[in-house]
Structure 1
Amino acid sequence: MKTVSVELKGSFDNSYDITVDESVSDRLVNDLCEHRYGKRPVVICDENTSELFGIKLVEILAGKQLDPLLLTVPAGEESKSLNMFSSLLEGMLEAGITRQDVVVALGGGVVGDLSGYVAGSYMRGLNFVQVPTTLLSQVDSSVGGKVAVNIPGGKNYCGMFYQPKAVFAGIEALNSLEKKEVASGLGEVVKHGIIADREFTLYLDDNAEAVHELESEVMKHIVSRCCEIKADVVRRDEKEGGVRRILNYGHTVGHAIETNSGYSLTHGECVAWGMRIIGAAANAAGLFSNDDLEIQNRVMDRLGLAVGSITVDTDAVMAMMKRDKKVKDGKIVMIVPRKIGEVEIMADFPLELIAAELDKF
């Protein structure tokens, strides 16, 4: 078992631990039985995760006389909506859930973001724990307290910062994923290496075959290292006022591509395209060396990320970028790679270079 501590000791102590192990179910059940996070568990899943993990967990908790409530939403990005947010709140109210209870977000990034927003809003906030079951959610979205839903004009435009009380990442859950879902998580994995750890990036290059096979020890190392990188960034900047923006490498372009695609492309896939595009643009601007661009692209090639071409409307993507949450004083704040393991926050990056690379891809 690996434990990564997220230390957030500002005005309030919002610190918590991330447990990474082959299986985390026994630890999760024990903690819930001891009422470490709240009294009655509200388990929120999507329909797929409910069949795989949720029903079994609820049966175990019911056998422990915890009176769990299971709430299920349709699978897919469409569930990350204000309508589904409202439906879950109403379901909890009808079931008599109080501020002394606890939300258990069991699933991928959509479930985690939606459940966290529900937990932070219901009766002005009750505790929640993250039990991520996808690679993307284990390495990224379950850590750091960014919870949100989408609105028609953009991704994650309605949300808050609301930290979980604990995160439980079980590697065995990754075996239930389709290859496309694994690839989506790998987009965020590569991002962590590019922004903060050259050695980790080269590790991904060297172990690409083991990654494709989801070898347990390799995946535990990958999940733990990504959590360590993100925990360190979040510790220094909990609410994205400064350095935390580096976690958005590939995201400004990627979110716009994701929205333009009507969410037909996965989040991690779009982040990978975003990294390809901003990496090439940074290279064209003389900021990112040929050697380092080659390393970034080789790692993504070996992991099967953002290969080939993509169909997007360049003008529409550029317009969506200008509505990004990170726009400051009318300028798009870009995260630009300088070398593998180091990026820079820039508000004056030449956007015409991004548009040119979008056209190429």
Structure 2
Amino acid sequence: MTAIQVGGDRPYDVVVGRDLLGGLAGYLDGARQVAVVHAPPLTALAERTAATLSDAGLRPLLVAVPDAEKGKTVAVADHCWAELGRAGFTRTDAVVGLGGGAVTDLAGFVAACWLRGVRVVQVPTSLLGMVDAAVGGKTGVNTMAGKNLVGAFHPPAAVLCDLDTLATLGHEELVGGLAEVIKCGFIADEQILRLVEADPAAAADPASPVLRELVERAVAVKAEVVAGDLRESGRRIVLNYGHTLGHAIERHEGYRWRHGHAVSVGLVYAAALARRRGLIDAGTADRHAAVLSSVGLPTTYRPDAFDELLPAMRLDKKAQGDTLRFVLLSGPGEPTVVSDVSEPELRATYLEVCVPVEAS
């Protein structure tokens, strides 16, 4: 296994390997009870995890929540807190988030708020969770106002990325996680792009050593960035590359689109905006669509949707007052924040990326 440390005031390890769940109890010293938050599709895995915790002398509490983004609501979080209250959870007890990025976001938020903060260990079972949601200490839920606008910064005690769990994913879900991996390639580690370009099929194969290297490299990128900026007051904002439009598409779709698929379109859009401004050349911009489409990710969206997407973009967490900020590239591995983008510029770029299909 590979351990990648995330530094900061509360350092922790992100462990990447196989057959890791048997060691989960080792990260829960001092706990008496452990809530395992999971979605119904992972009930069998949650029950095996509970048995492992029980064998270690801990008292597991299984807390089932709705799958995917349907589980990331204040109402579901309240249900979890009610379960912790009924079980008498104390400050020394712990929460485990077992599932995809939505479950780990929710579990972290539940732990951050219960008694003003109890320990959480994240066990992401999706590629998106491993390389993005479970790492970095950002937790939260969605509201009618937008995605992830309510939450807390709450670093986990550890993150266990058991690659064996990726075999349970459908192909589209696995591919969706590659958008966040590829994002890391553009903002920091070009070798990620080379690995995907050399063998797109291996990049989406759960048993492939290529995918393992991609996970480790993407985690290393995020660990390096968040170590010095837990609360996203500085450099951490670069991890939102592609997310301004991506989050707006998710909201517009009622979260029926996968996060990675929406971010994929957002990455292509951000690249086109940077090219329009002369920050990157056409080859770098075109590389975005090429590498994303090579693994089966979308690179365009409805051409008539801009007027509906713009208000959602203005609610983006990077916005400051009336100023809409974008993370763009000024070159490969050189993200920068731009805050003087006009609405006409945004619209023209959108229509460039989302070209209407002519009727045959």
Scaled to the shorter chain, the TM-score interval is over 0.9
Other structure's SS at 1:90 match: helix
Q: 1:60 maps to what in 2?
A: 52
Other structure's SS at 2:330 match: strand
Is the aligned partner of 1:5 residue 2:14?
Answer: no
Q: 1:179 maps to what in 2?
A: 171
Q: 2:19 maps to what in 1?
A: 23
Is the 2:24–2:53 Cα contact (8 Å) retained in structure 1?
no
Q: 1:354 maps to what in 2?
A: 346
TM-score (norm 2): 0.94
Is the aligned partner of 1:87 residue 2:79?
Answer: yes
Q: 1:50 maps to what in 2?
A: 43
* Displacement after TM superposition at 1:21 (Å): 0.2
Q: Which moved more, 1:167-176 or 1:292-301?
A: 292-301
> Residues 235-293 of structure 1, C-alpha deviation per residue, up to 9 Å, x if partnerless?
12111111100000000111011101111101111110101111112212222211111
Is the 1:148–1:158 Cα contact (8 Å) retained in structure 2?
yes
Other structure's SS at 1:273 match: helix
Give the counterpart of 1:268 among 260, 273, 281.
260
Pair 1:311–1:47, CA change in 2 (3 A): farther
One-letter amino acid of the counterpart of residue 268, structure 1: G
Q: Within 5 A, what are the aligned runs for 1:303-342?
A: 303-307=295-299, 309-310=301-302, 313-342=305-334
Is the 1:37–1:128 Cα contact (8 Å) retained in structure 2?
no
Q: 1:38 maps to what in 2?
A: 31
One-letter amino acid of the counterpart of residue 3, structure 2: T
Is the 1:38–1:127 Cα contact (8 Å) retained in structure 2?
no
> Residues 308-349 of structure 1, C-alpha deviation per residue, up to 9 Å, x if partnerless?
654662111111111222111321110012222221111113
Is the 1:261–1:312 Cα contact (8 Å) retained in structure 2?
no
Q: 2:10 maps to what in 1?
A: 14
Other structure's SS at 1:339 match: coil
* Displacement after TM superposition at 1:28 (Å): 1.6
Is the 2:237–2:327 Cα contact (8 Å) retained in structure 1?
yes
In 1: Cα distance, 2:321 partner to 2:89 partner: 42
Q: Which moved more, 1:296-305 or 1:155-164?
A: 296-305
In 2: Cα distance, 1:292 partner to 1:38 partner: 50
* Displacement after TM superposition at 1:76 (Å): 2.3
Give the counterpart of 1:162 among 142, 150, 154.
154
Q: Which runs of 5+ in 2 are unaligned?
A: 355-360
Give the counterpart of 2:226 among 230, 234, 237.
234
Is the aligned partner of 1:244 residue 2:240?
Answer: no
Q: Which runs of 5+ in 1 are unaligned?
A: none
User: What percentage of aligned pairs have identical amino acids?
Assistant: 33
Pair 1:309–1:238, CA change in 2 (3 A): closer
Pair 1:149–1:194, CA change in 2 (3 A): same
In 1: Cα distance, 2:295 partner to 2:274 partner: 22
Q: 2:184 maps to what in 1?
A: 192
> Residues 193-223 of structure 1, C-alpha deviation per residue, up to 9 Å, x if partnerless?
1111222222221131211323332122111
In 1: Cα distance, 2:140 partner to 2:146 partner: 11
In 1: Cα distance, 2:132 partner to 2:206 partner: 18
Other structure's SS at 1:68 match: strand
Pair 1:37–1:239, CA change in 2 (3 A): farther
Q: 1:111 maps to what in 2?
A: 103
> Residues 214-234 of structure 1, C-alpha deviation per residue, up to 9 Å, x if partnerless?
333212211111111001100
What is the CA RMSD across the aligned residues, in angstroms? 1.5
Is the aligned partner of 1:71 residue 2:67?
Answer: no
Could you list the runs of 4 or more consecutive aligned residues of structure 1 that deviate by over 3 angstroms after TM superposition?
307-312
In 2: Cα distance, 1:48 partner to 1:312 partner: 36
In 1: Cα distance, 2:267 partner to 2:147 partner: 18
Q: Which moved more, 1:54-63 or 1:169-178?
A: 54-63
Pair 1:329–1:190, CA change in 2 (3 A): same
Is the 1:171–1:216 Cα contact (8 Å) retained in structure 2?
no
In 1: Cα distance, 2:3 partner to 2:212 partner: 11
In 2: Cα distance, 1:2 partner to 1:102 partner: 24
Is the aligned partner of 1:220 residue 2:212?
Answer: yes
In 1: Cα distance, 2:173 partner to 2:86 partner: 34
* Displacement after TM superposition at 1:71 (Å): 0.3
Give the paired residue count: 353
Other structure's SS at 1:186 match: helix
Is the 1:278–1:354 Cα contact (8 Å) retained in structure 2?
no
In 1: Cα distance, 2:14 partner to 2:307 partner: 41
